[in-house]
């Protein structure tokens, strides 16, 4: 019997990153009712999009519902202030989930 190991990259692929980025930006634009063009990595949730704390909490819940394996801790919520912060957080969480899944398959 031959066993073929799975090869994982040290970070999400560019395609996955693009999918995450597009999905997050679309969700933010729809949820906060803003123009998609105004949602960039540098966009600040409060200052640029007018999102208050409740908006941010509700948005993070929607994000958790959309991305399997993503759980945003209350402490982390206070550190996610820009769209780019949120995208990087999600990419890291998705990657950790994939890495854990591969570990379970290999064992």
Active site positions, annotated: 52
Q: Which residues of 62-94 are buried (b: 16+ CB within 10 A; e: fewer)?
A: ebeeebeebebeeeebeebebbbebbbbbbebb
Cα gap 84→44, rounded to integer Å: 9
First to last CA, the chain: 17
Please say whether the beta carbons of 69 and 94 come within 8 A.
Answer: yes
């Amino acid at each position: 019997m031959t066993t073929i190991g799975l090869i994982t990259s040290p970070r999400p692929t560019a395609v996955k990153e693009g999918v995450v980025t597009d999905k997050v930006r679309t969700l933010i634009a729809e949820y906060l009712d803003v123009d998609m063009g105004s949602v960039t990595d540098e966009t600040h949730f409060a200052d640029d999009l007018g999102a208050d704390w409740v908006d941010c909490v509700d948005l993070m819940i929607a994000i958790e519902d959309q991305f399997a394996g993503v759980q945003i801790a209350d402490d982390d919520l206070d550190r996610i202030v820009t769209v780019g912060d949120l995208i990087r957080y999600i990419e890291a969480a998705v990657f950790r989930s994939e890495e854990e899944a591969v570990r379970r398959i290999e064992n």
